[in-house]
Amino acid sequence: MNPDASGTQEIRNLFDRHVPEIASALVEIRGIARDRGVRSVVAVSSNDPGIDAVGVCSKDRGNVMKSITAELGGEMLCVVRWDDSVKSFAKNLFAPMFFVRIDCDDASHQVTAVLRSDSQILPSRTVALHSRLLRDLTGWVINFEIEG
């Protein structure tokens, strides 16, 4: 699939325009997964340890996100913190799910995330989009199991 086929460049352009820290490269968009018209997930990192990458994208009481969402016709946005550790990134990406543990198999690039039985489970469409972003950014595929 053409990486821009889902309109990820449109999302990048909106963040560049609305978030000065992205336009100035203090904050970097590491990846975007998009289900056009429904939801986009944007992974961000900071090139300055004093800057909260997720915080600058949702500053002004969420007005930045509201503006971008309005320009996208109501498409939901989720901004998550990138981490070079696949375990940490998966935890960030799939919050508010609660993990008992996350196991990584280096040979197969498979992540097995064991969820607590009382974990809030994200809707399957959201899990699929987040899983695609994890795969696209890290090359790892995630599988879920419920504790017990």
pLDDT tens, position by position, 112-145: 999 988 888 888 889 999 999 999 999 999 999 9
Query: Is 90 part of a structural domain of the chain?
Result: yes
Query: What pLDDT, on a 0 to 100 scale, did the predictor assign at position 61?
Result: 76
Token couple for 49: 């340890």
The total of structural domains in the chain comes to 2
pTM as predicted: 0.87
Query: Is 31 part of a structural domain of the chain?
Result: yes
> Do the beta carbons of residue 111 and residue 143 sit within 8 Å?
yes
% of the chain surpassing 70 pLDDT = 96
Query: Is 1 part of a structural domain of the chain?
Result: no
Cα(2)–Cα(138) distance, integer angstroms? 18
Q: Is there a single domain that holds both residue 72 and residue 27?
A: yes
Boundaries of domain holding 128? 86-146
